[in-house]
Amino acid sequence: MYYKFCIIFITFIIYSFLGYIIEVLDILRREKRLVISRGFFIGPYLPIYGFGSLLMLLFLTRYQDELITLFIMSSFVCTLLEYLTSLILEKIFKLRWWDYYDRKHNLDGRVCLENAILFGFGGIVVVDIVNPLIIKLLLLFSKHFIIIIATILLILFLTDLVVSIFILIHLEINVSKYFNTDATSKIKKEVKASLSKYSTLTYRLFRSFPDIQAQDTKAFQTFKKLIFKAMNEVKKITPKSKKKNP
């Protein structure tokens, strides 16, 4: 039973990693710059791709030989997952993580037709091509090896999840404290005070989601700018500090 779970979890991690690679390459194509921080997890994986792929494999494998049906169902399942993920994260953390309002045929800025079409083609590739290869590859290894690797990955993933949620909760507290107030100096002081603890991860979070928004846009944007400014100052100061304290 645990071995079966290990196979599923490793498959989940593989698809999450492939999703991360796709996002990085997509930004490189569109913006001509390399952005390695994607998603609010620290590790190089995007769980929404892993969950989306597992859902397609669970419900859509039966349509493996019906490409049009597979395309339509993949588009629907993944678009629904993206919409619900955006909605749930916004309800929990009071933050909107991505915004497609600048794209044609979008729904509440959470999903768009362009992505839905890509999800459709992605479903065909995953179900008909990629997944059979992944399963064949995993079956080459012994059960003992698969269990060890899956357990290590699970521990790392859960640790990443706890740390990432901690950063998100902290971020919400910091921002919400200053909603509807002109507290630039207070925010700046707090940013500097907490920099050594977790502002580096907050900085990474903002780089991963450049379109992230909160209910109070003005206060939130001020907070973002101060995080970036503080981190840039630290990058300039750190080399000098190392020279003084070898």
Tokens at 221, concatenated = 């944007």
pLDDT score recorded for residue 220: 54
pLDDT score recorded for residue 178: 45
Contacts of residue 163, Cβ cutoff 8 Å, sequence gap at least 6: 42, 201
What is the C-alpha separation between 235 and 246, in angstroms, rounded? Answer: 17
CA separation (Å) from 32 to 25, 27, 165, 208, 245?
10, 7, 31, 16, 38
* pLDDT tens-digit map of 194-203: 444 445 555 5
Report DSSP state, residue 109. T
List the pLDDT tens digit at each of the 246 positions of the chain.
899 999 999 999 999 999 999 888 988 888 888 877 777 677 888 898 999 999 999 999 999 999 999 999 999 999 999 999 888 877 876 666 677 888 888 998 889 999 999 999 999 999 999 999 999 999 999 999 999 999 999 999 999 888 777 766 665 445 455 444 433 344 444 444 444 444 555 555 555 555 555 454 555 555 556 555 655 655 554 444 444 444
Note whether 20 and 12 are within 8 A (CB): no
Task: Report how far Cα 208 is from the mean position of its chain's Cα atoms.
Answer: 8
pLDDT score recorded for residue 4: 92
Tokens at 220, concatenated = 């939130």
pLDDT score recorded for residue 55: 92
Sign of CA dihedral 56, 58, 60, 62: positive
Q: Can you give the residue ranges of every domain in the chain?
A: 2-151
Note whether 106 and 113 are within 8 A (CB): yes
Note whether 223 and 178 are within 8 A (CB): yes
CA angle 11, 14, 15 (to 5 degrees): 90
What is the C-alpha separation between 119 and 83, in angstroms, rounded? Answer: 13
Note whether 55 and 81 are within 8 A (CB): yes
Beta strands in 125-243 (DSSP E): 213-214
Contacts of residue 154, Cβ cutoff 8 Å, sequence gap at least 6: 9
- pTM for the model: 0.69
| Closest by CA position to 134, among listed 1, 16, 48 | 16
Beta bridge partners of 95: 214
